[in-house]
Amino acid sequence: MLLTQRLYEIALPLARATSVAGLTVGLGYTVVTTADGGLGMSYTWLHDREKRSYENHYHDVEGEAADVLLERLLSDDPFQRSIGLATVNALNRKRALAFDDDGGMPLSRSLRALEIGPGTHVCMVGYFPPLAGTLPGLGAELEVIDSSLGLGDPVRFRGLLGTWADALIVTATAILNDSIEDLLAAAAPRVRTLVLGPSTPLVPEAFSHLPVDLLAGIVPLDPVMIERVVRHGAATPGMKPYVRKVYCRCRPEGAGDARG
């Protein structure tokens, strides 16, 4: 997948310049910390876990150059890719802190930029309960697909992206199972697209080959509490006091109308 290759190449010089301070793999999220103050997260991909062996041979990576974890982003195993993506986010933390605050959910600034209102057709990849409850109240029509929950039909959903959708909200976990680029390729040129969630790599130049308008994610602020929340298997709401929500644009406003 070109996106993961681009993320890897952008992060590699940073990874070679620092070392791994900590790696915590939780049931919900994975956290990586680096010696230069980096702190990043990703969803831990555990689907089909009975079919996989995660770490056959124990190897202590803490203290080694961070590229030892970054290279896992290129793995065919989504579980290993979770660790690689968390490493990207750790290496990118300082830059991400400079992005604009996204405000509170569900009507964050990034979502308002999608111009969702009465009659807007919204396709959602990954079920976000707060959004699924709020968007219809704005008058929008919503279609959701989430393979982990058994929601939606993939063939029908791709058809809707090309003929029906005005806006597309994609969970960043679609990077882990290699589905994000196929989904974006199916979207019509007019579709306004947001990649959303704690796993989102806030590296806009990595998405320059894709029709993505906005990225919205989090920047962890408190390494002790974030690692504790992850160790305790808490879901996203448990992180809220210890993160900052930010967003950035990948393309200028209105650029999506001209894409082909």
Confidence at residue 258, expressed as pLDDT on a 0 to 100 scale: 41
Backbone angles phi, psi at 86, to 5 degrees: -60, -35
Q: What is the mean pLDDT of residues 231-245?
A: 91
Choice among 49-53, 160-164, 211-215 with the minimum mean pLDDT = 49-53
Confidence at residue 131, expressed as pLDDT on a 0 to 100 scale: 87
Contact 201, 247 (CB under 8 A): no
Task: Compute the Cα dihedral for 71, 12, 92, 68 and give only its sign.
Answer: positive
Location of each CATH 3.40.50.11590 domain in the chain:
100-219
The three state secondary structure string of 125-178 is ECCCHHHHHHHHHHCCEEEEEEHHHCECCHHHHHHHHHHCCCEEEEEHHHHCCC
How many other C-beta atoms are found inside a 10 Å radius of the C-beta of residue 208? 11
Contact 199, 69 (CB under 8 A): no
Class of domain 100-219: alpha beta
Tell me the C-alpha distance between 67 and 90, whole Å.
Answer: 12
pLDDT at 257 over 80: no
**Confidence (pTM):** 0.93
Per-residue pLDDT tens digits for 75-100: 999 999 999 999 999 999 999 999 99
Location of each CATH 3.30.390.100 domain in the chain:
2-96
Local structure of residue 54 (DSSP, 8 states): S
Determine the CATH number of domain 2-96.
3.30.390.100
Indicate the Cα dihedral angle 206, 196, 62, 79, nearest 10°. -90
Backbone angles phi, psi at 94, to 5 degrees: -60, -45
Per-residue pLDDT tens digits for 5-63: 999 999 999 999 999 999 999 999 999 999 999 999 999 998 765 555 555 677 899 99
